[in-house]
Amino acid sequence: MHFRLDRVAWMVSGLGLFMPSGLGQTVDHVDVFRDAVVVTWKAEVRAGECLLARSFHASEDVDVMVFDDAGVSERGAVASARSDWYPSGGDAEWNALDSEWKEAQWDLEMKGAQAQLVEDDLALLRANRKVGGTSEAMLVEDLSEVAHWMHEETKDLLYRRIELMAEIKSMEEEMARLEERRQAAKPVPVWEWSVEMPTGSEGTLWTQVAERGAGMGWSPADVLELGGASPGQLNWNQRALVFIDVPTENAPVPVRLHDARYAGLDARPDARPDLLMATYDKRAAGAYSVSSDAGTSAIFPGVSWEMEELAVGPGWKKNVRYAVQDIPADVRFFSVPKQSPVVNMRLALPRPPAPVAEMDRAALILSGRPAGKVWVTERGDSLLIDAGAVRSWTVNRAREAALCSKSILGNRIKHHRAYTITASNRSGVSGELVLEEPLPVSRNAEIEVVPESLDGGILDEAQGIVRWKFVLAPGESRTLRFAYDLSHSRDVAIPDWD
């Protein structure tokens, strides 16, 4: 069901400020979506005009919903007005700081004027420093006495200039501190939502306001750490950069993160089951009616996390942790030495109880060292994480030339190939290594490949791959030896498979 509030705009002017009466309003809780924030305000109301909520960004009636849990059938219509909100201390603190700042600014300007006078005097002395000629001698009997006087006057002015520069620097630093405090107390334009309550009514009202401006919401980040206290355990630390911009005194309130985009107030997490819809009857000015849809409880889509109380307020931006899980992880290492000497890591783990926030933004930490961003993919009830190359594991494939040979038997040529693969684990964690060696594959029936020795490897005949699986302890190395025979007719050319 869609609820709509028709609002009455109150004009704010220098002659009459919007000053609703009420018993105060506080933030009850905050719901944070990926792209918006819904703030639920709680207000104790009584007869007359009562303030319900404030907002920096919500100015439309579709962004506001009022409800209670009493099912009262008559309430006034919600009205909105533009006003000023003071972050702390009210208008008295702002006026005091503003006056102090203006006075300090005046003092600084006066001090600057004094410094300018000193500069003017110094410039005049410099201009008249050179005295000579007959006319000057006639006017001044003792030129040396004049020169001495000018020297002493210049010295005094230079000292005074140094003093003034130090005083100006100190005053500028104090001005910067005052400006910081002044900006912190500066009034901010807000929308104030109020209701005109009937005579004899009192109680509690909740008002939900959708704040959809200034890029509010939350951005998730998954941090995965492997190789801590238990090598087989993956610590899944889910964090979020949360931005909430609401007019409140940084009061601690419950915060809930929703893993979904904002869908409007017709599908929202309700604080109470009973909703009130206020409407304005244009035919009868001042006549309002309220309908109650008792028992309605909207089910918001997506997964949510209940956060501890956070002291949210204007421009509140924090990196918070919303889920921590220790999950058993099956760690495996993969390599195809013939193609590359690189060893890649893959983690397989059961799906965690809390959902993965971003499948392609997980940051992996191995043995306390960042390993970069990794991909997380779903496969049935499991998650696979391709962690990329790991430097602490190495493989080296080499051809054993002394064991390789070529022989001719009638019309056929036979090649014997022999190789070694040495794998080393230089990390501090045991792990299972999977090595794959692709054997020569040809659709020509005249070419035949026969494995001669595989050193425990398993041949996948369909794919033509020999696969080894074994566990290496920290610091352990293992060398595998394998060989195969390749034969073909004399008139068949073969590529170099090495």
Q: What is the pLDDT of residues 161-181, one digit of tens each?
A: 888 899 889 888 988 998 888
Task: State the pLDDT confidence band at 246, using cuts at 50, 70 and 90.
Answer: very high
Task: State the pLDDT confidence band at 257, using cuts at 50, 70 and 90.
Answer: confident
* Helices vs strands, H then E, count in the chain: 3, 30
pLDDT at 355: 61
Tokens of 368: 């306390």
Q: What is the strand order of the sheet 25-32 is part of?
A: 288-293, 275-280, 64-67, 203-211, 37-45, 25-32, 255-258, 304-306
pLDDT at 135: 47
Task: State the pLDDT confidence band at 4, using cuts at 50, 70 and 90.
Answer: very low
pLDDT at 476: 94
3-class state of residue 146 by DSSP: helix
103 and 96 in contact (C-beta within 8 Å)? no
DSSP string, 286-333: T-EEEEEETT------S-EEEPPPEEE-TTEEEEEEEEEEEEE-EEEE
Burial letters for 42-75: b for 16+ Cβ neighbours within 10 Å, e otherwise?
bbebeebbbbbbbbbbbeebebbbbbbeeeeeeb
Decide if pLDDT at 96 tops 90: no
Q: What percent of the chain has pLDDT over 90?
A: 17
Q: What is the mean pLDDT of residues 228-241?
A: 75
Residue given tokens 């195969």 in the structure block: 484
3-class state of residue 32 by DSSP: strand
Distance CA 389, CA 374 (A): 11
Task: State the pLDDT confidence band at 358, using cuts at 50, 70 and 90.
Answer: low
Tokens of 428: 């501090």
Rg over CA atoms, the chain: 40
Distance CA 10, CA 331 (A): 65
Q: By C-alpha distance, which of 115, 211, 99 is closest to 157?
A: 115
Per-residue pLDDT tens over the stretch 367-421: 777 878 888 887 777 888 888 888 889 999 999 988 888 888 878 888 888 999 9
Per-residue pLDDT tens over the stretch 285-298: 333 233 333 333 34
Task: State the pLDDT confidence band at 301, using cuts at 50, 70 and 90.
Answer: low
Q: Which residues pair with 487 in a beta bridge?
A: 414, 448
Q: What is the distance, to the nearest Å, from the Cα of residue 69 to the centroid of all Cα atoms in its chain?
A: 36
Residue type, 459: L
Q: Which helix (H) or strand (E) holds 231?
A: none
278 and 290 in contact (C-beta within 8 Å)? yes
Counting beta carbons within 10 angstroms of the beta carbon of residue 449, is it exposed (0 to 12), middle (13 to 18) or buried (19 or more)? Answer: middle
User: Is the whole-model pTM more than 0.85?
Assistant: no
CA distances from 260 to 333, 362, 456 (A): 35, 18, 51
User: Average pLDDT, whole number, for the chain?
Assistant: 77
Tokens of 458: 């398993």
Per-residue pLDDT tens over the stretch 122-160: 788 777 765 554 444 444 455 556 566 667 777 888 888
Q: Give me the residue spans of the domains in the chain.
A: 8-86+191-322, 90-185, 331-349+375-498
Counting beta carbons within 10 angstroms of the beta carbon of residue 287, is it exposed (0 to 12), middle (13 to 18) or buried (19 or more)? Answer: exposed
Distance CA 373, CA 365 (A): 9
The segment with the largest mean pLDDT, out of 153-157, 226-230, 243-247, is 243-247
Q: By C-alpha distance, which of 146, 191, 248, 175 is closest to 5?
A: 191
